Structure 1
Amino acid sequence: MKVLHVDYDRLRSYGANRISWAEKMKYGLIRNNHYVRSFSDRDVAAFEAPLGIRDLGKKAANRRFLEVVEHNDPDLIIIGHSDIITVESLKLVRQRRPECVLIHCNCDPLFVPNNSKRIAAFAGVVDAVFVTTGLRDLRRYAGLGARLYYIPNPVEPTVEVLDNSLKTDLPIDLLFCSNATKFTKRLEMVKAIKDAVDDEMNFKTYGSFGEAPVWGRDYDNALAKTKMALNLNRQEGDHWYTSDRMSQLGGNGVLQFAHSSGGFDEYVPPETLVYFDDQQDLIAKIREFHNDDVKRQDWAARARKFFQEELNSTLYSRYIIEATMVQPFSHDYVWARNINPDGSDKS
């Protein structure tokens, strides 16, 4: 299958940023024997704009997108987190190439208004929408035209190469990395945890409380030194929603603490993620695993095995293709046991 993948490749960062979920998807698609052409919408807009001012290049980027579609004749177009390519351009693709399948893939939270608006807009023109939030919350977009599917954040085995579950001499006991402050109060909890455990362990909070954020290579280096980490979303409670932090930690054998309201125990095996209900529960469990390194290693190893085997980018991309084309599932995808390939409930 010929695939045109539209997302932001960060060409102008020259490798300073870490690999994205979009790149992981591309690697998975290629492993599944699909041809993938990438179209980095934001970079094209900047390249085409006067003085490189991206906002001035949006019309040109849409024109170039339609040219790429014309020149490559894709079977499938995957629209990622694009705020450049318009619904009008996708409607033109529909008119000119009615046999081409269109889908939207989205890994941002629904509580961000612009993202929810983006999903709704694309759902009115594409065939299917895939989001890293469970169907219980995705149903708000039902009836807009697109079939709705949940997707996890994938692990890429060439990226998540660490296994910290095997190590005992790691200098960072607990890690939390964040640079996002909108739509969240999570730093209040992080500060309370820091006050409670700072005398007991090395708790690094890159991006908060005066510690500089880490990106790309520096983030990977921080992960390589870490035993345990907080997987705190900006807001908790959306079904199966988490940032890609979950796959980065799980895939590298870093023990992670996640809020119980996400419902991940519905498809993630026991004794892998450490779930907490509130701040005091979290602090108690951090101390428990800090003081029992054998238990920390055991849970982290079990999590890494699950993430690498069941949430890898090859299975992730194969699932997206099979669901898009409404084909029988070729694997027992742990996140899709209750749905049919057309997105309907098995019940």
Structure 2
Amino acid sequence: MRILHVDNHQHRKYGYIRVSWALKLYTGLIRAGHNVLAFSDRDVARFEAPLGIRELGKKKTNRRLLQTVDAFQPELIVFGHCDLIENDTFAEIRRRHPNILLAACNNDPLFVPRNAANIEKRCAIADAMFVSTGPNELQRFAGNRARLWHMPNPVDPSVEHADVSAIAGDDPALEADLLFCSNSRQHTERGQLVSQLREQLPQDFRFHTPGLFDQPTLWGLDYERKLARSKMGLNLNRQEGFQWYSSARIAQLAGNGLLVFTHAAAGFDDIFPPESLAYFDSEDTLQRQLLAFHQDDARRRHWAANCRAFFHREMNNTLFAQYIVEATTDSKFSHDYVWMR
């Protein structure tokens, strides 16, 4: 299938890129056997704009997308957080090429008003809308053109290739007992929990928090290396309690074999097997579990290995991409996707 993938492909990062679900989707589509062309709206806007000022290149970017569609003749357009592309442009694509299907993907939380508005807007033009929050939360967007689907956070075996679960806790290669990376402070109070943990955990408990407390944020290879040298990871979302919603860090942590602690309110026990994710519902239960797993390294490695294997087997980016294609084209599912059971 010819697929045009419209998203931020980070060309102008020149290798210093963030771990991106969009890039995982792109490689997953290729691994699933499709002919995929990438269109990076932000990069095109800067390339086309006077003085490289992105906002000045917005109109030209929309025209370039139309030009690309006319030339490539895709059967399916999968688009993510490409805010520079207007709905009117997608409507013009439909007018010129009535048989093209449109699949919209959104990996941001519903509690951010701007993001919820973006989903609402894209539901008016897309054939299918895939959101990283669970189906119970998506009913507010029902009644538009798009059919609503949940999408998980995938791992890519070429990106999440480390396996900390195979390393003993006393190995000098491991420099952190617990890792939490963050640089986002809007719509959240999770920094308070991190501060309290820093104060209450034993002094010899190595809790590393890049991006917080005046520490530099890690990107690119620096972030990959940090994951590969940490035993356990905190999956703290900016807000908790939304069905199946998580930051993409859950896949980055678990896919590299870190034991992942995540809030029970998201209901991931609907999907994940026992002894994989470690759930907490309060600061006290989180602290107790952290210390228990820290003191029982065999148990830490067992749970982390289970979760890593589950992610790589059932939530890899090839299955993720093929699911999006099959759901959008109304095809019979080729796999028993765990989030669809």
Provide TM-score, normalisation by structure 2: 0.98
Matching residue of 2:270: 266
Identify which of 314, 328, 335 aligns with 1:331. 335
User: Post-superposition shift, 1:210?
Assistant: 2.0
Identify which of 287, 307, 312 aligns with 1:303. 307
- Which 4+ stretches in 1 moved above 4 angstroms? none
Q: Is the 8 A contact 1:18 1:217 kept in 2?
A: no
Question: Is structure 2 residue 155 aligned with structure 1 residue 171?
Answer: no
Question: Residue 178 of structure 1: SS of its match in structure 2?
Answer: coil
Matching residue of 1:313: 317
Matching residue of 2:123: 123
Question: Residue 45 of structure 2: SS of its match in structure 1?
Answer: helix
Identify which of 278, 289, 298 aligns with 1:285. 289
Matching residue of 1:70: 70
Whole-angstrom distance in 1 between the partners of 2:215 and 2:298 = 30
Question: Is structure 2 residue 201 aligned with structure 1 residue 193?
Answer: no
Identify which of 222, 225, 232 aligns with 1:218. 222
Whole-angstrom distance in 2 between the partners of 1:85 and 1:171 = 43
Aligned length: 337
Whole-angstrom distance in 1 between the partners of 2:264 and 2:5 = 34
Question: Residue 3 of structure 2: SS of its match in structure 1?
Answer: strand
Question: Is structure 2 residue 145 aligned with structure 1 residue 142?
Answer: no
Identify which of 201, 205, 209 aligns with 1:205. 209
Question: Residue 136 of structure 1: SS of its match in structure 2?
Answer: helix
User: Post-superposition shift, 1:198?
Assistant: 4.7
Whole-angstrom distance in 1 between the partners of 2:188 and 2:204 = 27
Whole-angstrom distance in 2 between the partners of 1:252 and 1:70 = 41
**Letter in structure 2 aligned against 1:72:** F
Question: Residue 67 of structure 2: SS of its match in structure 1?
Answer: helix
Matching residue of 2:16: 16
Q: Please, what is the CA RMSD of the aligned residues?
A: 0.8
Question: Is structure 2 residue 253 aligned with structure 1 residue 244?
Answer: no
User: Post-superposition shift, 1:145?
Assistant: 1.4
Unmatched runs of 5 consecutive residues or more in structure 1:
338-347
Whole-angstrom distance in 1 between the partners of 2:116 and 2:36 = 27
Whole-angstrom distance in 2 between the partners of 1:141 and 1:111 = 14
Whole-angstrom distance in 1 between the partners of 2:205 and 2:175 = 9
User: Post-superposition shift, 1:82?
Assistant: 1.0
Taking only the aligned residue pairs, the percentage that are identical comes to 50
Whole-angstrom distance in 2 between the partners of 1:68 and 1:198 = 57
Whole-angstrom distance in 2 between the partners of 1:115 and 1:212 = 27
Whole-angstrom distance in 1 between the partners of 2:289 and 2:162 = 24
Matching residue of 2:159: 159
Unmatched runs of 5 consecutive residues or more in structure 2:
none
Whole-angstrom distance in 2 between the partners of 1:47 and 1:17 = 18
Whole-angstrom distance in 2 between the partners of 1:22 and 1:122 = 17
Q: Deviations over 1:201-253 (max 9, x none)?
A: 11000000122111111101111110001000000011100011011111111
Report matched runs for 1:33-52 at 5 Å: 33-52=33-52
Q: Deviations over 1:246-285 (max 9, x none)?
A: 1111111100100000000001111100000011111111
Report matched runs for 1:86-125 at 5 Å: 86-125=86-125
Provide TM-score, normalisation by structure 1: 0.96
